[in-house]
Amino acid sequence: MRLAYFTPLPPSKSGIADYNSELLPYLAKGAEISVFVAEGDELRENRDRADFSVHEANDFDEICERRPFDLCVYHQGNNPHHEYVYDRAIRTPGLLVMHESCLHHLVAWKTLARKDLDAYRDEMFYAYGRKGARAAEMRAHGMGSEYQQFLMPLNRRVALGSLGIIVHNAYAASNLEGVAGDIPVKVIPHHLSPKTYELDGMDRIECRRSLGIPDVLIVDEALSVGDVYFQRKSLDRMEYFRKAGKTVLFVSHEPVLVQRFCTRALWLEQGRVAMVGDAKEVVTSYQAFCARLEEERLRDLAGRGGIASREHDDILRELKLTGSRWGNVRIKFTGAEMINSRGEQAWIFKTGEDVTIRLRIEADDDYPEPVFAIDVHRFDGVFVGIANNIDTHPTTLPVKKGVNLIELRLNRLELPYNAYFLSLKAYTKNEGPDWKDPAGIHNQMYQFDVVTDRLIHGLMRFDAEWRGDTINEPKQESVALP
């Protein structure tokens, strides 16, 4: 069998490179293997291998045309070293070895990191539809967390284009998107490196010295790649190293992890030291700084009438939705504000905080019984809830010709940490036909954020209270039957 084998090789800084460096000599005993790499130093250092040949990835088409391969094998990872593997796997179907089920970081690097929002949005829409396109738009504007990337692993395109898939554990198999019975999936555990046997019998100090493990552990954004299992293993290893009294230099954009693992922190802002000190104090200051920047951004967007733009409207039309604004403008929204519990205009709130939404409208006539509604959607398009003055919170809100103010007070905003959008709706009267002819709609145009230190599962936190009582039932006395 003649195999085209796509994988990084040492000295590439990829664990998959080391994995295949150990595995290939065994596979080469049963097949003719041509390995394709993307970096010059990989080619130079492996050119003289006797058991398999090594070629530039760009030479694949020419080599295959001269003498076709029986199968392409793709070792897919989630970092830039595997971009060429991903691209070729999509173009030429083959056997896909998924070392990591989450490929979101790689796709984001290929697209967003190169300022190609259209390509990123296309990938997200292909994998997740409207929800994905919304998430892509948010992430392009700096909203979202690392955890959200694991919820959307973005492996659908490469998985569905394969002839078969190999994964190393059942979790990875369950995380494949859209794969049905027509594409075979096989779980093959990761092999045990021969290095393990070399270390057998050594004490801890000798092992560390042999492996080149320093007394200072440097972790630079390592937790942004890999699956959840990999993250947990990494966190456990960091914790072990810290408790052993060693020094850990941890570089991260995740404040929660910095507080968890670090006693002291250094905050860099545009290459300069902004603050050094106790980890909790530095993280608190950093979060306050980020909150101020986000508050300014959201206030600026709201002041300009929401996030509506030609690009925003194009996205909505592309997804077969109506544009961001429509209506007969008999009642027109001219301004929207959110007020926090201190009476200040704000667009970032804490869970449980009282919030007032103040709307400025213009009416072309007097309307004695108009209907107003405010919808809330999560950043990914999930509908959270609605408040209106007809059935959820019935009240009469007559408006006069000219400028009017309408307010909605939300007592205790029990939403979890996330980004949300407000939709504003106005109708001139409460009659069935009027629903088809709204006076004004602003569709998901006003963003607000919720921050929290509470644990909330689901879309919201219920305002609930548990109670319990001990019930002492009277003891039943036995009665003798005659």
| pLDDT given for residue 231 in this prediction | 60
User: 2-103+155-187, what's its fold?
Assistant: Rossmann fold (3.40.50)
Q: Which of 94-98, 265-269, 303-307, 322-326 has the highest mean pLDDT?
A: 94-98
Report, as an integer, the average pLDDT of 86-96: 96
Contact 62, 4 (CB under 8 A): no
Report, as an integer, the average pLDDT of 73-92: 95
Q: Write down the domain spans for the chain.
A: 2-103+155-187, 205-262, 305-451
| pLDDT given for residue 226 in this prediction | 47
Sign of CA dihedral 77, 83, 85, 91: positive
Of 91-105, 305-319, 326-340, the range with the lowest mean pLDDT is 305-319
| pLDDT given for residue 433 in this prediction | 42
| pLDDT given for residue 10 in this prediction | 92
Strand partners, 4: 34, 72
pLDDT band with cut points at 50, 70 and 90 for residue 371: very high
Whether the per-residue pLDDT at 310 is higher than 70: the answer is no
| pLDDT given for residue 203 in this prediction | 64
Range list of β-strands (E), 319-412: 325-326, 331-339, 348-350, 355-363, 371-378, 383-388, 402-410
Give CA 21 to chain center in angstroms: 32
| pLDDT given for residue 453 in this prediction | 65
Whether the per-residue pLDDT at 430 is higher than 70: the answer is no
Whether the per-residue pLDDT at 320 is higher than 50: the answer is no
Whether the per-residue pLDDT at 348 is higher than 70: the answer is yes
| pLDDT given for residue 409 in this prediction | 93
Sign of CA dihedral 312, 446, 319, 451: positive
The residue ranking higher by pLDDT, 139 or 350, is 350
pLDDT band with cut points at 50, 70 and 90 for residue 398: very high
Q: Which of 85-94, 195-204, 211-220, 463-472 has the highest mean pLDDT?
A: 85-94
Of 13-17, 64-68, 230-234, 424-428, the range with the lowest mean pLDDT is 230-234
Q: What is the CATH number of domain 305-451?
A: 2.70.50.60
Report, as an integer, the average pLDDT of 326-351: 90
Report, as an integer, the average pLDDT of 46-54: 91
| pLDDT given for residue 299 in this prediction | 72
| pLDDT given for residue 254 in this prediction | 75
Question: Which residue intervals of 266-333 are DSSP H helices?
Answer: 279-303, 310-318
| pLDDT given for residue 279 in this prediction | 87
Of 90-99, 334-343, 389-398, 424-433, the range with the lowest mean pLDDT is 424-433
The residue ranking higher by pLDDT, 305 or 459, is 459
Give the Å distances, CA to CA, from 149 to 144, 179, 455. Answer: 8, 19, 20
Contact 111, 122 (CB under 8 A): no
Q: Return the percentage of the chain with pLDDT > 90, whole number.
A: 38
Of 86-95, 136-145, 159-168, 174-183, the range with the lowest mean pLDDT is 136-145
The residue ranking higher by pLDDT, 453 or 15, is 15
| pLDDT given for residue 351 in this prediction | 86
User: Whole-model pTM?
Assistant: 0.51
What the block records as the tokens of 50 is 């006797």
Report, as an integer, the average pLDDT of 361-380: 90
The pLDDT tens digits of the residues spanning 273-297 come to 888 999 888 888 887 787 777 777 7
Of 89-93, 209-213, 383-387, the range with the lowest mean pLDDT is 209-213
Report, as an integer, the average pLDDT of 351-364: 92
Place of tokens 């200040």: 344
Closest C-alpha among 355, 349, 344 to residue 387 = 355
Mean pLDDT computed over every residue of the chain: 82
